[in-house]
Amino acid sequence: MEKRSLQSLMIALPLFLVIILSGTTVHATAVPVDGGWTSFVFGAASTEVSGSPFDWASAGSVILTVTDAFLHGDTFHVEEPLGTTILTTPFVVADSLSTCGPGGGFASDPDCAVADPLYSHASTLLAAGFHSVSVFVDLSPYQSGSAFLRVDSAVPEPASLLLLGSGLAGLGLWGRKRLKNNCANG
């Protein structure tokens, strides 16, 4: 038994030292699926936003949405751990006042910002599983600001459900016909 403990220690000690000596700690922000908006703050362009990375796990497909808020003009991109960009919010020319917020041009409500074409926002569909994404600022005219992201379960569109239902009904009828023919022949 003592030999096994020594072997476990010999394996665990180098791993422990690598973790401690690496000096890198990542504090991810957990994002609840279907839990509403998660806010983040940011600085100048070409920087990662506070709270990155953002993590979640889902049993089904999800929709990730990122929106600018408050003052318009900010754009973002979202990357997976290996640096693959999965979402980019477009540049929007805000040449008029927003319909969101007091006096226009200041949306503190992310739902209003997503509905307003003067705010940069984008969504993407992601497969089920564990995700850890980082958000980066591409453009920040005011050198700082706040924005939002959310993760929602992807609800199949009605046509997909109709197609699935038709396929299942067809399989059921085919199985019933096959069973009926087997009973008649047997």
User: DSSP alpha helices (H): ranges in 23-146?
Assistant: 110-115
Q: What percent of the chain has pLDDT over 70?
A: 75
- Residue 89 scores a pLDDT above 80: yes
133-174 residue pLDDT tens: 999 999 999 899 999 999 999 976 566 666 677 788 877 887
Q: What is the CATH number of domain 27-159?
A: 2.60.120.380
Q: Where exactly are the structural domains of the chain?
A: 27-159
- Tell me the HSE value of 186 on the side-chain side, using a 13 A CA sphere: 6
7-33 residue pLDDT tens: 554 454 444 433 444 444 457 899 999
Dist CA 23 CA 18 (whole Å): 9
